[in-house]
């Protein structure tokens, strides 16, 4: 009896690649498909031959056996019957669906009996102090999450029972609907993609296979971290489904407002109140920093708004070894709750100052000069209008 030549059926050479075999199969399957040749028995038989040839040659193990032993290497009964046992159109819906999966992105999930899903990522908001952000810290947090149920070991079934294969999808987690020439695959409506049905749910997790609880872990805060930055804790998210990998935990940092310092990147800013006497005569004051106390010399005649920089007294950069600076903004403080004697001395001081007003208060003189020029210009404009 004549040996069946599967390569000839697909019209390819014996050294054709897998891609060439698939391309030829697509072309011939479209040509001889029963929907395109209604009532043509010859076309239907040809279509079955093409389907059978592709089933063997698209499988590496079957193709190797066929190349070495012929049809006897893949199906002795079929060899004896000269290829009379084609599987029919129902099996075509399963294999031919691969073509449309390639076209429309279906992938190969049809072949897996259950769907495996990665666990969901979790987010945790962690509030820390500016000192902890500057120097680094280790924080212990409790994160709400789902853990694999210890009673049923994640199966979801009551101890002593097992989930059974879903009869609707046969354990594949998906069902295929044939609509004319097209094959559409969708999640099984009965098992929701798991491939199994739980007849007797676990009393602890109620069939979910996992329970909600809190887990405690330590998070290392690197020095220099800032608000809005996230720390990734790999594998500390929710557990996967059907053996999938767990998700990740993202710890989002929020730095509390500080009573003294305001942060700007790696730099710090603070207000530095000084007395009128210190501002006028100069002196030395103590400045708080995140590393302790620093002493700062105030030169005579210091004005409100002047800024003094302390190099390296800011925040360490989270990515390298550099440090920011500390900027001290001077605020000359007006004394309050004065005694009668203090008021008397200030009036005396004011009277003496009038003799040297222009030299000792240059900003005041400049401002008064601009005011006079403003009103003088207004008088000139008014005079010009009158004739």
Domain boundaries, the chain: 6-108, 122-144+210-255, 262-333, 343-385
- Decide: residue 385, CB within 10 A, 0-12 exposed, 13-18 middle, 19+ buried: exposed
Please give the class, per CATH, of domain 6-108. Answer: mainly alpha
Give the per-residue pLDDT at 2.
55
Give the per-residue pLDDT at 112.
43
Any known ligand binding at 169?
yes
Give the per-residue pLDDT at 100.
43
Any known ligand binding at 191?
yes
- Decide: residue 113, CB within 10 A, 0-12 exposed, 13-18 middle, 19+ buried: middle
Q: Which of 139, 119, 142 is CA-nearest to residue 253?
A: 139
Any known ligand binding at 328?
no
Other CB atoms closer than 10 Å to residue 184's CB: what's the count? Answer: 13
Any known ligand binding at 149?
yes
353 sits in which H/E element: helix 340-354
State how far the Cα of 343 lies from the Cα of 115, in Å rounded to an integer.
Answer: 85
Q: 353 with 362: CB under 8 angstroms?
A: no
Sign of CA dihedral 13, 15, 20, 26: positive
Q: 291 with 232: CB under 8 angstroms?
A: no
Architecture per CATH, 122-144+210-255: Sandwich (2.60)
Q: 71 with 52: CB under 8 angstroms?
A: no
Which residues on adjacent β-strands are paired with residue 297? 284
Give the per-residue pLDDT at 1.
45
Burial 65-96 (b: 16+ CB within 10 A, else e): bbeeeebebbbeebbeeebeebeebeebeebb
Q: 196 with 163: CB under 8 angstroms?
A: yes
Q: Which of 295, 84, 120 is CA-nearest to residue 210?
A: 120
**Domains 122-144+210-255 and 262-333 equal at CATH topology level:** yes
Any known ligand binding at 166?
yes
| CA–CA distances in Å: residue 96 to residues 6, 43, 88, 178, 195 | 17, 17, 12, 11, 22
CA 384, chain centre distance (Å)? 71
| CA–CA distances in Å: residue 121 to residues 144, 215, 237, 298 | 12, 15, 5, 53
Instruction: Using DSSP, state whether 240 is helix, strand or coil.
Output: coil
pLDDT in tens, the chain (387 residues): 456 788 889 998 888 888 888 888 888 888 888 878 888 888 888 888 888 888 888 888 788 877 777 777 676 554 444 333 334 444 444 444 444 444 444 444 444 445 567 888 889 999 999 999 999 999 999 987 777 788 888 788 888 888 888 888 877 778 877 665 666 778 888 787 777 888 888 988 888 787 888 888 999 999 999 999 999 998 888 877 766 788 899 999 999 999 999 999 999 999 999 999 999 999 999 999 999 999 999 999 999 999 999 999 999 999 888 999 999 999 999 999 999 999 999 898 888 877 766 666 666 656 666 767 767 765 555 555 544
β 249-255/230-233 pair status:
antiparallel
Residues 6+ apart with CB under 8 A from 121: 237, 238, 247, 248, 249, 250
Instruction: Using DSSP, state whether 290 is helix, strand or coil.
Output: coil
In degrees rounded to 5, what are phi and psi of residue 341?
Answer: -65, -40
State how far the Cα of 342 lies from the Cα of 345, in Å rounded to an integer.
Answer: 5
Domain 262-333 maps to which CATH number in 1.10.10.10, 3.30.230.10, 2.60.260.20, 2.60.40.10?
2.60.260.20
């Amino acid at each position: 009896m004549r040996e069946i030549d599967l390569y000839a059926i697909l019209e390819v050479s014996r050294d054709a690649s897998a891609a060439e075999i698939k391309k030829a199969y697509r072309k011939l399957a479209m040509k001889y498909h029963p929907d395109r040749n209604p009532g043509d028995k010859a076309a239907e038989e040809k279509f079955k031959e093409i389907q059978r040839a592709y089933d063997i040659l698209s499988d590496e193990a079957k193709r190797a056996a066929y190349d070495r032993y012929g049809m006897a290497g893949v199906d002795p009964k079929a060899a004896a019957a000269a290829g009379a046992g084609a599987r029919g159109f129902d099996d075509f819906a399963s294999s031919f669906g691969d073509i449309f999966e390639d076209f429309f992105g279906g992938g190969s999930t049809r072949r897996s009996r259950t769907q495996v899903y990665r666990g969901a990522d979790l987010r945790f908001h962690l509030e820390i102090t500016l000192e902890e952000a500057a120097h680094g810290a280790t924080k212990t947090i409790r994160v709400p999450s789902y853990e694999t149920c210890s009673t049923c070991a994640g199966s979801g079934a009551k101890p002593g029972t097992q989930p059974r294969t879903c009869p609707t999808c046969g354990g594949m987690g998906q069902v295929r609907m044939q609509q004319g020439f097209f094959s559409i695959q969708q999640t099984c409506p009965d098992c929701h993609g798991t491939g199994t049905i739980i007849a007797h749910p676990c009393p602890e997790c109620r069939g979910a296979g996992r329970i909600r609880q809190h887990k405690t872990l330590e998070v290392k805060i690197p020095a220099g971290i800032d608000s809005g930055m996230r720390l990734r804790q790999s594998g500390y998210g929710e557990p996967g489904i059907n053996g999938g990998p767990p998700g990740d935990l993202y710890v989002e940092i929020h730095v509390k407002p500080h009573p003294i310092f305001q942060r700007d990147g790696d730099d710090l800013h603070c207000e530095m109140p000084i007395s009128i006497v210190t501002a006028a005569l100069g002196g030395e004051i103590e400045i708080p920093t995140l590393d302790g106390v620093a002493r700062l010399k105030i030169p005579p005649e210091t004005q409100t708004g002047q800024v003094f920089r302390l190099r390296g007294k800011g925040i360490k950069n989270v990515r390298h070894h550099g440090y920011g600076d500390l900027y001290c903004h001077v605020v000359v403080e007006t004394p309050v709750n004065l005694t009668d004697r203090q008021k008397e001395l200030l009036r005396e001081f004011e009277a003496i100052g009038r003799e040297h007003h222009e030299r000792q208060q240059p900003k005041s003189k400049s401002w008064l000069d601009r005011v006079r020029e403003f009103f003088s210009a207004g008088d000139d404009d008014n005079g010009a209008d009158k004739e």
